[in-house]
Amino acid sequence: MDPPRPPWRRLRSLDAGQQTHQCSGLVRALKKVHLRRLAPGIVGDYFPDQAPWQLARKEHICRGAEPQRHSHFFARDGSFGLVDQNDQQVDNGRYRVSGARTFRIGEVSFHYQVDRLLDHKILGLKPVITRRMRRQALAHPLQFSDAGWAVAVTYPGSIWKRVRCGPWC
């Protein structure tokens, strides 16, 4: 199967017409894949002035969360990245198709599906979280992990749309 033709960009922002995600949605996504213990290390974008160990002590981890505009993208040249609220690329990597409806970013695999919604093609993503990834993540839940990162990238409810290239592609 051919890869989803880029560029695709996941919109996550406070701007009108773009999707706004909440901290609670990310925590629910982690809980759904039995990785809730990773939440303090994953929801930091919502709390730029707090460390994961501080968030881990909160009774309600998302209380006071402040959404920040940013989006992820896939570009034609095989690059993948994240653009922050200042339209600066702050994360980068390469993706490659590795099988039917599967691609990889680094060592992490994702299943994908392209659908139509009215006049637009949309991309759906689901992370492939291996036992090894889960075990490593849960051994050090406040540290960066491929498993936590994969859930944050695919963020349930996200809409990935084909868009014109910006400065990021």
Q: Tokens in use for 101? A: 């409806």
Question: What tens digit of pLDDT does each residue of 1-17 get?
Answer: 444 555 565 544 333 33
Spatial distance between the Cα atoms of 169 and 36, rounded to a whole number of angstroms: 33
Token pair 């701007």 is found at 15
Query: Is 145 within 8 Å of 38 (Cβ atoms)?
Result: yes
CA 63 to chain CA centroid, Å, is 21
Q: Tokens in use for 136? A: 């490593």
Given this model, what pLDDT does residue 131 score?
Answer: 96
Give pTM, 2 decimals. Answer: 0.83
Question: What tens digit of pLDDT does each residue of 85-129 get?
Answer: 677 777 788 888 888 889 999 899 999 888 877 777 777 888 999
Given this model, what pLDDT does residue 15 score?
Answer: 34
Question: What tens digit of pLDDT does each residue of 127-138 get?
Answer: 999 999 999 999
